[in-house]
Amino acid sequence: MASRLLWASRVASYLRVSVSHRGFASVVKDLKYAESHEWVKVDGKTATVGITDHAQDHLGDVVYVELPDVGHSVTQGSGFGAVESVKATSDVYSPVSGKVVQVNEELNKSPGLVVKSRISTKVFMFAPGYKVTAFYVLSCLSLFRLLHGMAVIVISVSCVMFLHFYAFVSSGFSHNIVNTSPYEDGWIIKVEMSDTGEVKNLMDSEKYSKFCEEEDAKH
């Protein structure tokens, strides 16, 4: 019995959630930035908008992006969508005014979080947008078999696993493109600006970097 408890403890410890540490957030020089942590790339009257590396780093792994409809009107400082991560849901605000002419459909086509198996590459669907490895599934089944009749321990281990599921982030995960490429593939909308002069109200890279440092220092 003691050996079974020790083995179960080791399995539970192995399956316990671990959160990966990220590096320092990057800032691109040729872009403009809003205090709400959106970036803007201007090309004539068209503005490409996304969330900054600083924003995605604080949000954690993005699992869903709410996109507006093409043709939707936005005003500077108003919300037009939301980004949902394993940690929280955050509104996204438009740094410029105008009409949405394109949305990045790839944001919701990209995979969510995919666990890479250390033993097998075969995966099973566990929940919408999530996959877990065969090793994880088999480990759970083995744990339940070994702890047959020990209802209290089974319930405790199960609760820990499910309560931490949405925070199940490790170095073996493939992240949404908002995380991996916030300034390129992870753009969110393109806006036909109604007032190009509004861009002057935004920060350049140097001011935004300082703004982020001061903001982080307060927390």
Amino acid at 154: V
Q: Is the pLDDT of residue 49 over 70?
A: yes
Paired tokens of 205: 């890279």
Q: Region 83-88: what's the mean pLDDT?
A: 89
Task: Please name each of the domains of the chain with its CATH number.
Answer: 12-20+112-173 (no CATH), 32-110+177-201 (2.40.50.100)
Please tell me the predicted confidence (pLDDT) of residue 109: 78
**pLDDT recorded at residue 83:** 92
Q: Enter the pTM of the model.
A: 0.62
Cα angle vertex 187, ends 100, 101, to 5°? 15
Q: What proportion of the chain, given as a percentage, has pLDDT over 90?
A: 45
**What's the confidence (pLDDT) of residue 193?**
98
Distance of CA 7 to the CA centre of its chain: 34
Taking only the tens place, the pLDDT of each residue in 145-176 is 666 666 555 555 565 455 445 444 443 344 57
In this predicted structure, what is the pLDDT of residue 2? 41
24 phi, psi to nearest 5 deg:
-75, 140
Return the minimum-mean-pLDDT range out of 32-36, 38-42, 44-48, 154-158. Answer: 154-158
116's torsion region: left (phi>0), alpha (psi -120 to 50) or beta? beta
pLDDT of residue 132: 44
Residue 142 has what pLDDT? 59
pLDDT, mean of residues 74-81: 97
Q: Could you tell me which residue, 65 or 5, shows the higher pLDDT?
A: 65
Instruction: Give the model's pLDDT for residue 47.
Output: 98
Summarised one tens digit per residue, pLDDT across range 86-134 is 888 999 999 999 999 999 999 887 633 332 222 333 333 344 444 444 4
Per the model's pLDDT, the better-predicted residue between 109 and 57 turns out to be 57
DSSP label of 201 = G
C-alpha closest to that of 85 among 116, 117, 115, 107: 107
The more confidently predicted of residues 33 and 26 is: 33
Strand locations in the chain, DSSP E? 32-33, 38-43, 46-51, 62-66, 73-74, 79-85, 89-93, 98-103, 113-115, 123-127, 130-133, 173-174, 189-193
Which pLDDT does position 171 carry in this prediction?
37
Q: Residues 6 or more apart from 201 whose CB is under 8 A from it?
A: 76
